[in-house]
Amino acid sequence: SLLGICLILQILTGLFLAMHYTSDTMTAFSSVTHICRDVNYGWIIRYMHANGASMFFICLFMHIGRGLYYGSYTFLETWNIGVILLLATMATAFMGYVLPWGQMSFWGATVITNLLSAIPYIGTNLVEWIWGGFSVDKATLTRFFAFHFILPFI
C-alpha cells in the first residue's frame, strides 16, 4: 500500500538523518546544516524525509476519506484505534518539525505545547512534564527526538 511505502521511506531516511543529527540546543541547527551541506546526498535525504511526511499525510487522509465513504466508522473499535494512530502520527510529525531547532521550531514547540495548559487541573503540570522543566529547552528537544525516533516503530 502507499502508506506502507511512505512509512518505509520515512524510517529509512530517518535512520540516515539520525546518524548525523545531534539533539542539543546549541548544535541541532548546525547539525541539520551539516547534513544538508557536508554529508553526501544529505540534502536529498532530508528533503525526502520532509516531503515524505507530507506524502504520508496525503495518503493517510485518502485512507480516512475512503473509510468515511464506505462507512468504516460503524466498526467503533477499529475506527477508534485508527483515530489514536492518527493522533500519534500527528504528534510524531510535530516532534519532527521541532527537531531542526530554528525559530519556527522553537516557537512552534512553545505555542503548541502551551495549548495543553488549557486543560483544567493538570494542564500546567502536563506542560512542565513535556518540557522537562519550566520552558522549552534541551530536555524538550532530547525528549522530542527520542519520541520522534521511537514512535514509528510502535
Domain boundaries, the chain: 2-153
Q: For the segment 21-76, what is each residue's pLDDT rounded down to a tens digit?
A: 999 999 999 999 999 999 999 999 999 999 999 999 999 999 999 999 999 999 99
Q: For the segment 75-96, what is each residue's pLDDT rounded down to a tens digit?
A: 999 999 999 999 999 999 999 9
CATH code given to domain 2-153: 1.20.810.10
For residue 39, the model assigns a pLDDT of 97
Helices 42-69 and 76-98, packing angle to 10 deg: 160
Does this model's pTM top 0.85?
yes
For CA atoms 18, 152, 102, 139, the dihedral sign is: negative
How far, in Å, CA of 81 to CA of 37, rounded?
Answer: 41
